[in-house]
Structure 1
Amino acid sequence: MRIGVVTFPGSLDDGDARRAVRVAGAEPVALWHGDADLRGVDAVVLPGGFSYGDYLRCGAIARFAPVMGEVVRAAGQGLPVLGICNGFQILCEAHLLPGALIRNDVRRFVCKDQRLRIESSATAWTAGYSDGQEIVVPLKNGEGGFVASDAVLDELEGEGRVVARYLGDNPNGSYRDIAGIASADGRVVGLMPHPEHAVETLTGPSTDGLPFFTSVLTSLVAA
């Protein structure tokens, strides 16, 4: 399996995401923001960082990158897409996911190991977890507060599309402690914490993030 990882100007975690893909047993494929070509990959990861310097709004410029036109088109045809941190922001700006990410309510950058509860294993990226499973992965963001209207939040909750929720103190003011959400078909997932930093005991607080990457491989085989 080949999983593409997009690099935008200002991406920080593209290398880490490619390593996570490799650790999971797939072939990472570097994708460039300026190329409208997904190179035949089986899934795509939009990594964390500060694409285009986070000018205007986080992800607001990246959503117009040539590669994103192909990502949106392919996602509409069922391509699995995972957006991590800045990638989550880009997915919302591209309207692949609802809601928006705004400045943390604590008005400062937050960097910590974060406890999460997996709320749904019914997505291409979380099938390797159990519903209700608690994990620990790093979190690092300045604009990580997920917001949406009550109607959208109720829809996400009612359809089982809340993927992960913060446990303990809410680190950024996200409505209903939401840390990640999914599209209606479960193929597109946005997550504010960083599972790619928790795939090896040498460098992470755990290996709790690895199932995000192995899950999609299982999903692709099953498809």
Structure 2
Amino acid sequence: MVTNIQSPKPAAESIPSSSVSPAEVAIVRQPFKVLLEWEAFARPYKARNREYFTTIGAIVFLLAVILLFLKEWLLIGAIIAFAFLNYVLASVPPEKVNYKLTTRGVVVAGKTYFWSTLGRYWFSLKWGIPILHIEHWGLPPQLLLLFDEKVINKDQLKEAINKYLIYEKPEKTVIDKASEWLQKKVPLETEPASPQNSTK
């Protein structure tokens, strides 16, 4: 009995790993550039009169008396703390801060918020002060950038931000609608008479 014994095939030559060069990946980074820069107040501010603080004090006192009978000590403390914070914000004018829109993100008073952590943006008007709102996926949940339309306008802001974010104003929540209704129905101070009405 004759068996055919085939000679083993020569093993394929192994290619040394050193001879295989990985593909080079070029990472192109956008150079840092300041798109817009301006100075404005850190928060909206409106000078309050004595009637405003008197009304706030009366409301806090009445709520504290009611909660005192209910023995809600934590709520009483929270209301007093809120009233004190409101007094400080209404009596102390804010300082001016520096705002920047750059190719990396938004800079507020030296702190950078990168575009990847920001969401939608929109505009609003409070006490005659234009405000740029930007969603933030962190703390604070929303950035408020005040600006003077005599120095910088909305079209300039949109042109700079549209490259990175979507312009979309969110719908008002139930809390927002209730707050607006309460401010209209229960004003904390009377508005000063306009010059036209005062001359009549």
Normalising by structure 1, what TM-score?
0.21
Higher helix share: 2
Normalising by structure 2, what TM-score?
0.22
Q: Tell me which structure has the larger Cα radius of gyration.
A: 2
